[in-house]
A and B are shown apart, each in its own frame.
Chain A
Amino acid sequence: MREDPQAAALPWLKPVLQRMPDRPVVLRVQGLSKWFGDVCVLDSLDFEMREGEVLGLIGPGGVGKSVLVKMCCGLMEPDEGSIEVLGQNLGELKEKQRQSLRERVGLVFQNYALFDFMTVGDNVAFPMRQRGGHTPEQIADRVQERLAEVDLPKVRHLMPNELSGGMKKRVGLARANINDPELIFFDDPTAGLDPVTSSKIFNLIRKTQSHRNSTCLVISHDIDRMRPACDRYLLLYESKLHFSGTETEAMQATDPVVRDFFRRDNAQK
């Protein structure tokens, strides 16, 4: 295995590197902190993701998970630290350069964020149309393909307000995938959904990841149902990165916070 200086500094990275040898780093977060007024939301976070990995980001509500994802997409600025996405340091990029980088990154929003003035088909097609270089037929075919992948082949003419919450999430997933991004962030993709739909969403995430070898970061509180999708977990607790590891490592952990998070959910199961 290649010796990585990061691994020496961060012992918990070793098992990750063992599982994903020689895979390039897709996302690297170093010393990341974010303050809102006097409140420190994120305090000196360090972690990284390797290509093809599905990482589950968990933690209590209000701990800064969505803020972290928005900063990784360049939608919010950190107060300290650096974020390297697909080999480019976000802090050193101008807005135009960030836009180019975002073409390689997808984001599924917690509250769908579908454009309510467009049909479902137009919502999914929109990023591809804006990027240009495709004929209307190519766009229509790709939209149909992506909607079929999320089991919604017949909704392209509906408006977002005609869809259920689960359907909107899946449309959001199809839209985020339309340009085949290399890195996708899912901000609580199963919030407010029933258990069956939640399981479907996580299966879709795994299916999408294996189909395109994309790298995924998934925020969720539903640890039980995200298990089949995730390779590894990060636990944010009291503004800090409290745990990083696999489910097995989490189940073996002696730390009461980690045990509480993982085993409580297991008990519910």
Chain B
Amino acid sequence: MNPLALIGRNFLNVSETIGGITLVLLRILRAMIPPKFDRDETWLNLYKVGVKSFPIVIMTALFTGAIMVIQSGQYVKQTGATGLLGWGAGYAVLAEVGPVLIGLMFSGRVGANNTAELGTMRVTEQIDALRALAIDPMLHLVVPRFLAMVLMLLLLTALGDLFALVGGALTSQFILEVDWRVFFDGVFNSGLLDEYLIGLSKGVTFGASISVVSCFYGLGVSGGAAGVGRAVNNCVVTSAIGIFVWDYVITYLAN
């Protein structure tokens, strides 16, 4: 194929995807004014998205904190600056690594599942059935998922950050033999509240991004089971890209 044509085609594909995602976001925002959504479906999604993701997020957070401490441990030991251990690990976890890794885990678990669910509903005509029954799929399916993902990724990030610090403290105590109180002193005396809040704002943004991307791919499925597979794959890749792009934007703006 002509390389220029290939570039042009890829450019059009990317533009179409970005345009489609933006349209889904606008339709969600429009559907929320005035606030009207399916309460039962929202509760169900809060449970599916949040409560069921809790174990995997906690596991990710504990190891993230532990890894940060191990990474900085050798320098701390060489220099004897144990007071910096909590600050170093806390800074990296709260502002950057925690929200990003939790967001990636969330996108793999919840975003992919959401795309597969909506995609299957699409190919089995369940979404058409909703419309035929005079029910707006946007209000019944998409808005509750959007709200659940935004709220729950915020809460999971808030909790995950704390568990990451616990993981860091345990590693500090048992692997590096630096007292856990010293570790927490380093965290709390370093003024990391701003980093924590920046991390939470990333959680909200990632939640919105993952929900919109997963709904866009789920609602756009065509071509049966193979189409669902392709959509899930695209959702995971695009969500990951979205997380890094938004991480860059927020980090840039916050600094």
- Residues of A at the B interface (CB closer than 8 Å) are 70, 73-75, 95, 99-100, 102-103, 105-107, 109-111, 113-116, 126-127, 130-131, 175
A-B contact pairs, 17 of them (CB 8 A): A75-B128, A75-B132, A102-B131, A102-B133, A103-B134, A105-B132, A106-B132, A109-B129, A110-B125, A113-B124, A113-B125, A113-B129, A116-B126, A127-B134, A130-B134, A130-B140, A131-B134
Closest to A172 in B: B129
Q: B185 interface residue, CB < 8 Å from A?
A: no
Q: Which residues of A contact B129 (CB under 8 A)?
A: 107, 109, 113-115
A70 to B125, CA, bound (A): 11
Q: Mark B112-139, 1 if CB is under 8 A from A, else 0.
A: 0000000000001110110111111000
Inter-subunit contact A70/B134 (CB<8 Å): no
- Residues of B at the A interface (CB closer than 8 Å) are 124-126, 128-129, 131-136, 140
Cβ-defined partner of B132 (8 Å) among A100, A102, A131: A102
**Additional 7 contacts, C-beta under 8 A, given A111-B124, A130-B140:** A73-B132, A75-B128, A99-B136, A114-B126, A127-B133, A127-B135, A131-B134
Q: Which residues of B contact A100 (CB under 8 A)?
A: 134
Inter-subunit contact B128/A113 (CB<8 Å): yes
Q: Which residues of A contact B125 (CB under 8 A)?
A: 109-111, 113
Q: Which residues of A contact B136 (CB under 8 A)?
A: 95, 99
Inter-subunit contact B131/A113 (CB<8 Å): no
A155 to B144, CA, bound (A): 29
Q: Which residues of A contact B124 (CB under 8 A)?
A: 111, 113, 116
Q: Which residues of B contact A126 (CB under 8 A)?
A: 133, 135
A130 to B135, CA, bound (A): 7
Cβ-defined partner of B128 (8 Å) among A99, A109, A127, A175: A109
Q: What is the CB-to-nearest-CB distance from B42 to chain A, in angstroms, rounded to a whole number?
A: 14
Q: What is the CB-to-nearest-CB distance from B222 to chain A, in angstroms, rounded to a whole number?
A: 13
A27 to B133, CA, bound (A): 18
A126 to B133, CA, bound (A): 9
Closest to A96 in B: B136
A175 to B132, CA, bound (A): 11
Q: What is the CB-to-nearest-CB distance from A134 to chain B, in angstroms, rounded to a whole number?
A: 15
A131 to B135, CA, bound (A): 9
Q: What is the CB-to-nearest-CB distance from B24 to chain A, in angstroms, rounded to a whole number?
A: 15
Q: Which residues of B contact A127 (CB under 8 A)?
A: 133-135
- Given A111-B125, A113-B126, A116-B124, is A99 in contact with B134 using a C-beta cutoff of 8 Å? yes
Closest to A178 in B: B133
A100 to B126, CA, bound (A): 19
A190 to B125, CA, bound (A): 17
A116 to B132, CA, bound (A): 17
A107 to B126, CA, bound (A): 12
Q: What is the CB-to-nearest-CB distance from A118 to chain B, in angstroms, rounded to a whole number?
A: 10
A74 to B140, CA, bound (A): 19
A110 to B128, CA, bound (A): 12
Closest to A101 in B: B134
A100 to B129, CA, bound (A): 15
